[in-house]
Amino acid sequence: MKINAAGLLFPDWAYKPAWSPGSRQVQLWHFLLELLGRGEGSAIGWGGEWGEFVIRDPERLAKLWGERKGKPHMNYDKLSRALRYYYNKRILHKTKGKRFTYKFNFSKLILVNYPGYPPPGLQVIITSLQLMSKPPVLLLFHFI
DNA sequence: CGCGGAATTT
DNA sequence: AAATTCCGCG
């Protein structure tokens, strides 16, 4: 498991792309969950259904994503292509009829008492818990 | 917009 | 493998 700068916790498999020696790059869906975990005021927010999210400001989101990846020419056209690649990977699907709305393929519900967490002596507030289907489990914590 | 093929990059 | 880039199609 790995805790990123946003205080979110990702399992190791989430950082898998180790093809570039040592450069575990953040994946798009990590980034989305990170922003979603931050709550309001963002370019993206949770939607009505479980796992559903709405991109409120597509170009702004693309800009942020581009900054994260060092791709200054990123735009929504390209970002959305990446999102569509997630369809076959069973990570996301489109909420048809709802503009800029996608949905994570979360399955069941959760393991609040995940072994080893929170680390001893660390105060933690669990603000969101998600379960990915990719295969496994993703726990999102907010540390304070 | 949203989709997915194809070539290319990281 | 996971995008990024480009693009024709409905």
What is the average pLDDT across A28-46? 82
**What DSSP state is assigned to residue A13?**
G
Task: Classify residue A8: in a domain, yes or no.
Answer: no
**pLDDT of the residue at A78:** 98
Q: Are A28 and A79 in contact (CB under 8 A)?
A: yes
Q: What is the CATH number of the domain that holds A43?
A: 1.10.10.10
A121: left (phi over 0), alpha (psi -120 to 50) or beta: left
The number of folded domains in chain A is: 1
Rounded average pLDDT over A29-46:
81
d(CA A70, CA A68): 6
In a domain, A122, yes or no: yes
Residue A43: pLDDT above 70? yes
Contact assessment for residue A25 and residue A17, using Cβ atoms and an 8 Å cutoff: yes
Q: Judge whether A4 lies within some domain.
A: no
> Is it the case that residue A67 has pLDDT exceeding 80?
yes
Bases of chain C with protein Cβ within 7 A: 1-7
Instruction: Name the nucleotide with the smallest C1'–CA separation from A94.
Output: B2
The reply to whether A48 falls in a domain is yes
Domain-embedded: residue A2: no
What confidence score (pLDDT) does residue A55 get? 98
The answer to whether residue A7 is domain-embedded is no
Size of chain A, expressed as the number of residues it contains:
144
Termini Cα distance of chain A: 18
Owning domain of residue A86: 28-142
What integer pLDDT is reported at residue A133 of this predicted model? 42
